[in-house]
Amino acid sequence: MTNIKEIAKRAGVSPSTASRALSGRGYVSEEKKRLVLAAAEEFDYAPNLNAVSLKTGSTRRIGLVAPRFAEPVSLFTSGLVRAAEANGYTVTLFMTGSDISKETEALEALRRKQVDALVFVVFWSDLSTIAEYVKYGPIVSWQRLVHEAIPSVFMNQYDGYTLALEHLYARGYRRICNVYGDSQRLNTQSRIEAFADFCRKYDLDPHACPSFQNTDTSGDGEKLVRWWLENGRPADAFACTNDWVASGIVAEARRSGLRIPEDFAVCGFDNLDFAHLLDLTTIHYPVDEQANNAFAIIRSRIEEIELPTRPPVFRLVERLTT
């Protein structure tokens, strides 16, 4: 393996001069620079990044921690990788499944200097556990949270959900069935608030229709249709926690011969790739921009510069299910 010493020898300079010529940092005369570059070319030189990392204390690598990498995490992943690579960084994956101890492994990777920073998509560990590790490098969360040391690039789903509710109202739906996700999450709390405020604004009975929690798969959506049929059609619209639930509702409704939006309307959330295949009305949010923000926060901490982050905005995507 040809190293920088050999290049230096071949170019007739010292290793430090070769280092400066190759990295572009420090003063080197044009003359010697040319010699070094020629030698590097000749010997097909490639720097050993492990040595660089050891010396500089920086890997230019950030870790992404998620239970798995399906949609919409895959979108976030792509966005993060794009932002990272554009700035000479690289992304390393840590998959936790639902195993809380795997989150610790990712944190340990940070401590062991395998990565310079960490992005958590979601996590189940205590916030305080995670916060202990910020001394080893920046940690950013996609999941919504409030903590001094751990910035989050979340979007306040109050706004997005309000968008969905207002749309359903404008379309004439009054008996809206709220299908919420994980009841522990702040996002769910925000959506519940949004619905309360919405009811107040239009003087609607918030209990006109039952609501559901911890309902987030397409299978859950299919069950909802059967529930609806067996309970006297108690709703004229479903506001769903995500597109999976909405898709399940649409699919099962079609199987049952129901017509959408005549029998009931369905509004999803996330605007996943397949949503337009089902003509699903849904709420879009720019995952890409959130990933960009996550990276910007990390980079500004690592490189100690001031980088702007743009607040991403929700957008209603009107299709045929409302």
Partner DNA sequence: TTGTACGCGTTATCAA
Partner DNA sequence: TTGATAACGCGTACAA
- Return residues touching DNA (CB under 7 A): 1, 3-5, 12-17, 19-20, 22-23, 25-29, 31-32, 45, 47-48, 51-52, 54-57
77 touching its own copies, by CB under 8 A: yes
42 touching its own copies, by CB under 8 A: no
Our measurement of the distance from residue 112's CA atom to the centroid of its chain's CA atoms, rounded to an integer in Å, reads 24
The stretch among 25-33, 108-116, 147-155, 189-197 that binds its own copies (CB under 8 A) is 108-116
> Which of its own copies, DNA, none binds 94 (CB below 5-8 Å, type-dependent)?
its own copies
Interface with its own copies: number of residues (CB under 8 A): 49
Which residue, 195 or 243, has its beta carbon nearer to its own copies?
Answer: 243
Does residue 180 contact residue 191 with C-beta atoms inside 8 Å?
Answer: yes
> Which of DNA, its own copies, none binds 65 (CB below 5-8 Å, type-dependent)?
none
* 3-state secondary structure string across 86-113: HCCCEEEEEECCCCHHHHHHHHHHHHCC
47 touching its own copies, by CB under 8 A: yes
288 touching its own copies, by CB under 8 A: no
Buried/exposed 288-312: b ≥16 CB within 10 Å, e otherwise: bbbbbbbbbbbbebbeeeeeebeeb
Nearest CA among 72, 69, 49 for reference residue 61: 49
Q: For residue 41, give both structure tokens.
A: 């070319």
100 touching its own copies, by CB under 8 A: no
Q: For residue 88, give both structure tokens.
A: 């000479």
The stretch among 43-51, 180-188, 225-233, 284-292 that binds its own copies (CB under 8 A) is 43-51
* Conformational region of residue 88, where left means phi above 0, alpha means psi within -120 to 50, and beta covers everything else: left
> Which of DNA, its own copies, none binds 201 (CB below 5-8 Å, type-dependent)?
none
Which residue, 25 or 207, has its beta carbon nearer to DNA?
Answer: 25
d(CA 118, CA 143): 13
> Which of DNA, its own copies, none binds 315 (CB below 5-8 Å, type-dependent)?
none
Nearest CA among 215, 143, 220 for reference residue 182: 215
d(CA 36, CA 42): 10
Binding mask 227-256 toward its own copies (x if CB under 8 A, else -) reads: --------------------xx-xx---x-
d(CA 125, CA 123): 6
- Residue 112 CB, shortest distance to its own copies, in Å, is 5
Nearest CA among 287, 242, 248, 234 for reference residue 267: 242
The residues of the shown chain that bind its own copies, judged by CB under 8 A, are 46-51, 53-54, 59, 61, 68-71, 73-75, 77-78, 81-82, 85, 90-95, 97, 102, 105, 108-109, 111-114, 218, 247-248, 250-251, 255, 273-274, 276-279
